[in-house]
Structure 1
Amino acid sequence: MRRVHALLPALLVLAACGNAPKADYIVLEQAHAGPLQFSVLAEGELRAVTATPLLVPGQQWTPRQLAWMLPDGSHVTRGEVVARFSATQSVQDLAQARIDLERNLLARAGKQDDLAGKRGQLGVDLIQVDGQLAIAQRYAHATTAAIARNDILDAVQDAAYLGVRRQILRWREQQSSARGKAELAVLDAQHDTYATVAKQKKDDLDALELRAPHDGVLVLERNWSDELPHVGSSMWAGFSFASLPDLDALEVQLAVPQIEAQGVAVGEAVELHPWGRPQQQVTARLSWIAAAAQPRDRDSPVKYLLMKARVPADAARRYGWTPGQRFVGKILLLQTPHGMSVPNLALGGDDGAAVRVLSEGNEVVRKLRLGVRGATRTQVLDGLHEGDRILLDAGSHGAGA
């Protein structure tokens, strides 16, 4: 809570009397020592410092549709099903992969029959050539006493022709065998590919349930449009669906308007409680402050500075706090039972550490030693006296102070 002293009614302008100030002097307030508390109000959300991510099951980038899930914030036990998905595309892909496998098997069987037929024909041709060649070779070396000379010359020519033909048939046999092996290898590679796809799609369809890896509280993840998953949502396998936070390590992330975050530092005390439950208040300390402020709404130019404060584990267990709860935080910049402060708009001078006060009807500049600076007021450690009337000159405030 910011400590703001009430301005004098209607910004009291001192009346014309023996020690009255000039008419253009405005008295802001009269200095008074008392309890001081500078604070900044902030809002935030309870989060887990560490959490186990729960990813949409299945092969990466496989389309999924959420069919059922437990509500956000549900307590789950190890092995419990937290969500079920459907995968129509994977069903179709598996059916197509099985059809491709059957076609591949038929094509391979046909190719083997074709190769067997070719090898059989070549075998018959080789047998015929070998028989003819044997006869031709026998008569090619016969004497003239046995057969006529012309018959011997014909036999020699037949033997040469049949020898060449035999070599050609052997070459064709070798080429047919090599080409057949290559064609079968291509079909086998296609079979392996179809089998792999079929196995992936089957495994994909076997992974339509998401189970909790350990006990915890289910915290659903918001998507890019800040929406929680719901039944019927289209999702992708491998993407984050929810998380199981470590309930012994919780922190509140607060958002403070940049203009009110002046002077806030790591280590400052902060009083935290859930929305609507001030009786569950605990005190923590800021453990992290963002380096720069950022806008939170594209339609608003207001920037906020993010801050984090660890929550005592015993308090979280005692009150049953769970991640996702909205919290209110009061950052305590200063809390002392006795002290003085001045409005920030009364400060001037080259170093911003001087005020103008009225003393016996005259304006006096006082150099102050300042302490903690809040959004609207600053602590005064020295230089201000009880009862001093602090001025604001609307026309020349800060000039020459």
Structure 2
Amino acid sequence: MQIKLLRSLLAATGTLSLLTLAGCTEPALQQVPVYKVAPDTLVHKVHTEGELFAVNSVTISAPRNVQGPRFIASLAREYSRVEPGDVVVTFDATQLERSQRQANTSLSSVLADEQQKLAEQQNEQKALGLDQTLIAQEFNFADRFSIDDVQIRSKLEILDSMQNKEYLGEKKEYLGWQEQSFSQRSSGELELLQLQRGQQQNLLQQAESGLAGLEVKAPHAGILLFESNWRGEKPEVGGMVFPGSKIGSIPDLALQHLKLQVIEQEAIGLKAGQRVTFHLAAWPEKVLSGSIVSVAAVAQSRERRDPRKYIEVIVAPEQQDPNFMPGIKAIATLWVNEKPGILKVPLQAIFSEQQQLYVYKRNGSGFVKQPVSLGSKSLSHAEISTGLNAGDEIALINPES
């Protein structure tokens, strides 16, 4: 009995050992996920977000005819409907009125100095004229009644007369030089006063022009939108703006396009004319269509803390929708490429070694490296140009690892 029990135990142990060996010899390659190659449609589409904007828009800027910053006194409500001639921005007049008073005071002072200088020059010129007339008469008299006969006058008197005549001649030349110098000096003084007068007149004109342009009015009907600065802040009452800086805009709502931001790595293959479907974030149930108008050549950062760069894509809707409004967010799908009837495989199944692309193709109970060449790509799949046929099975992971 014990011998039969021992034989049964040995038989059971042998059977268990055979089953264990059979399990160990089962190839681990059967656990590798595979993909069966078959004709299919390669769809390359990119999902992204953006917002609407008006193609035609009139910019509202601070006037350029005033030097220095200006302060906002009042603003129309953003997103409000404005008509032609409506006041959208009013600037504070305190600084301009102060500048006008200072320019008026300085101009009056310069005009008074100019009149005083003209009167002084006239008096000085009149005195020089009288001196020149007197010297000329004395010189003519000395020349006319000069007697150099020693029989009539002594030699000392003759010498004295000659010295007096020479003195009068020198003085006449000196008065001529003084007149010329006075003319040049007076001309320079008057030019300086005229320059100061012109400067004050320009300041006065700028102040008066600024006072006349304290209000910025809407040139046409539309929706008022304000511009954000680099800190994301919009204009507000009491805020400071510099001449020529953009305050806002009044877009023309008749024609609006879509501005999308596509991650640089996903923008491969984008070009004008490609189909786009999108919906507005506020109305997700309504799908609209359009086409790409332009693709930016250079990628740019969108946020300081975001290391990714984005390509700007402009899309023209097929038709304008009543719900369109500048700034409304939209979610879009860009249909980059659609190729039906091609062999495609997942990108994760493609490997490279020494600049050669290959896949792991099933061969019996194992896998072999099969070189391939690719055609078009999407974000998840690639077209197989050569190297595989319909019905082939390839590994989705590296079976060797």
User: What is the TM-score normalised by the length of structure 1?
Assistant: 0.74
1:334 and 1:64 map into 2 onto residues whose CA distance is 52
Equivalent AA in structure 1 for residue 207 of structure 2: K
Aligned counterpart, 1:330:
333
Aligned counterpart, 1:70:
76
2:254 and 2:370 map into 1 onto residues whose CA distance is 52
Deviates more, 1:223-232 or 1:330-339: 330-339
Aligned residue among 219, 226, 229 for 1:220: 226
Equivalent AA in structure 1 for residue 234 of structure 2: L
1:123 and 1:250 map into 2 onto residues whose CA distance is 80
2:256 and 2:118 map into 1 onto residues whose CA distance is 67
Partner secondary structure for residue 124 of structure 2:
helix
2:400 and 2:66 map into 1 onto residues whose CA distance is 68
Structure 2 stretches lacking a partner, 5+ long: 1-21
Equivalent AA in structure 2 for residue 396 of structure 1: E
2:372 and 2:180 map into 1 onto residues whose CA distance is 106
Partner secondary structure for residue 108 of structure 2:
helix
Q: Is the 8 A contact 1:262 1:374 kept in 2?
A: no
Aligned counterpart, 2:11:
none
2:268 and 2:361 map into 1 onto residues whose CA distance is 24
Equivalent AA in structure 2 for residue 180 of structure 1: S
* Alpha-carbon distance change, 129 to 285 in structure 1, aligned in 2, over 3 angstroms: closer
Aligned counterpart, 1:11:
none
Partner secondary structure for residue 106 of structure 2:
helix
Partner secondary structure for residue 278 of structure 2:
strand
Identical positions, percent = 27
Q: Is the 8 A contact 1:229 1:241 kept in 2?
A: yes
Describe the superposition over 1:206-248 as per-residue Cα deviations: whole angstroms up to 9, x where unpaired. 2222223333333333323333322232221112222343444
Kindly report which structure 2 residues correspond to 1:2-401, keeping only aligned pairs within 5 A, or say none.
22=28, 25-27=31-33, 39-59=45-65, 62-86=68-92, 89-130=95-136, 132-133=138-139, 136=142, 139-140=145-146, 149=153, 153=158, 158-261=164-267, 264-312=270-318, 314-315=319-320, 318-333=321-336, 342-348=345-351, 352=357, 354=359, 356=361, 373-378=377-382, 383-385=389-391, 391-396=395-400
Equivalent AA in structure 2 for residue 300 of structure 1: D
Q: Is the 8 A contact 1:48 1:246 kept in 2?
A: yes
2:199 and 2:280 map into 1 onto residues whose CA distance is 56
Partner secondary structure for residue 140 of structure 1:
coil
Aligned counterpart, 1:13:
none
Offset at residue 283 of structure 1 (A): 0.8
Offset at residue 199 of structure 1 (A): 1.5
Describe the superposition over 1:141-192 as per-residue Cα deviations: whole angstroms up to 9, x where unpaired. 69999xx735974666655544543443344334323432332222222212
Q: Is the 8 A contact 2:88 2:217 kept in 1?
A: yes
User: What is the TM-score normalised by the length of structure 2?
Assistant: 0.74
Describe the superposition over 1:89-129 as per-residue Cα deviations: whole angstroms up to 9, x where unpaired. 54444433333322222222222232233233334434544
1:129 and 1:248 map into 2 onto residues whose CA distance is 88
Equivalent AA in structure 2 for residue 232 of structure 1: G
Partner secondary structure for residue 297 of structure 1:
coil
2:242 and 2:396 map into 1 onto residues whose CA distance is 63
Offset at residue 282 of structure 1 (A): 1.0
Offset at residue 68 of structure 1 (A): 2.1
Q: Is the 8 A contact 2:358 2:371 kept in 1?
A: yes
* Alpha-carbon distance change, 109 to 320 in structure 1, aligned in 2, over 3 angstroms: same
**Aligned residue pair count:** 373
Offset at residue 53 of structure 1 (A): 3.0
2:375 and 2:340 map into 1 onto residues whose CA distance is 15
* Alpha-carbon distance change, 365 to 232 in structure 1, aligned in 2, over 3 angstroms: same
Deviates more, 1:150-159 or 1:183-192: 150-159
* Alpha-carbon distance change, 371 to 219 in structure 1, aligned in 2, over 3 angstroms: farther
2:98 and 2:363 map into 1 onto residues whose CA distance is 88
Q: Is the 8 A contact 2:357 2:371 kept in 1?
A: no
2:358 and 2:295 map into 1 onto residues whose CA distance is 27
Equivalent AA in structure 1 for residue 249 of structure 2: S
